Amino acid sequence: MNNTTSAFVVSLDWLEQRLGDPGIRIVDASWYLPAQQRDPKAEYAAAHIPGAVFFDQDAVADLSSGLPHTLPSPEFFAKSVGDLGVRETDTIIVYDGPGIFTAPRVWWSLRTMGARNVFVLDGGMDGWKADGRPVTTDVPAPSPVPFTPSFNAAAVTSFQEMTAIVASGERQIADARGPGRFTGEEAEPRAGMRSGHMPGAQSLPSGVFSQGGKLKSLEELRKTIEAAGIDLSKPVVTTCGSGVTAAIITLALQSLGHADNTLYDGSWSEWGSRQDTAVVTGKE
């Protein structure tokens, strides 16, 4: 990679040249909202990158939280990923369908749990197939391996911490949901949730960070974030609908060398479904 693009993404060419490399593990992290009418498991079964294992974001989660795909315990995460044949010391390439959509969430999860050499595939599976690159229906049957977790609790913001942040303004809040959901003009896709955003939050829709399934240049990322009113010299907490696309903002921030950022794992699924949280509507 060069100094104009993120150090956390790899190109389609880069990965194709390394297919079969024993030091690389490939993870399909595709996940979709119901409105997208795409089935990630069916798409994986029909065609995936050779050697890729499927990471189920709904299953590798804290199923007791009552919230969609929140981080599980380090032990549960480690067993789930180890069962996929992935060690924390491997070079791990994560992809999704469209590119820069749900792969950043698994990139963030792996890094939060102690893996260090984790990258997102620019262009995604849609780009891979559009180029006519090799695909397979063969499902790997990896032998379980140890994944030794080293959980970075500081990367995750809890509900209690988020409540304090909203009250104090001690961290900037970057919301990855679409503009209509942020302002409250568009209903939430999940039943029973109020519309709007947290007081003090800035709107940074996740789709603005990529083009054609590829992460934008560092200069474009910087301009996009600063135009939204985020000061890159100050702490940021990212949030979205359910903690998935917030990781796209996290990817952009960390690509720019911003280190003091956390992700609110419960996101709007938690905040918007409660009756004791402050919610505002409109653009401010």
Q: Which residues contact 225 (CB under 8 A, 6 or more apart)?
A: 174, 204, 232, 249, 252, 253, 256
Q: What is the DSSP string of the chain?
A: --TTS-TTEE-HHHHHTTTT-TTEEEEE-----GGG---HHHHHHH-B-TT-EE--TTTSS-TTSSSTT----HHHHHHHHHTTT--TTSEEEEE-SSSSSSHHHHHHHHHHTT--SEEEETTHHHHHHHTT---B-PPP-PPP--------GGGEE-HHHHHHHHHH--SEEEE-S-HHHHHTSS--SSTT---SB-TTEEE--GGGGEETTEEPPHHHHHHHHHHTT--TTS-EEEE-SSSSTHHHHHHHHHHTT--SEEEESSHHHHHTT-SSS--B-S--
Task: Give the separation between CA 179 and CA 197, rounded to whole angstroms.
Answer: 10
Task: Give the separation between CA 158 and CA 130, rounded to whole angstroms.
Answer: 40
Cβ–Cβ < 8 Å for 252, 263? no
Q: Among residues 240, 244, 246, 247, which one is catalytic? A: 240
Question: Six-digit token pair at 189?
Answer: 């896709």
Q: Respond yes or no: is residue 244 known to be catalytic.
A: no
Catalytic residues: 240
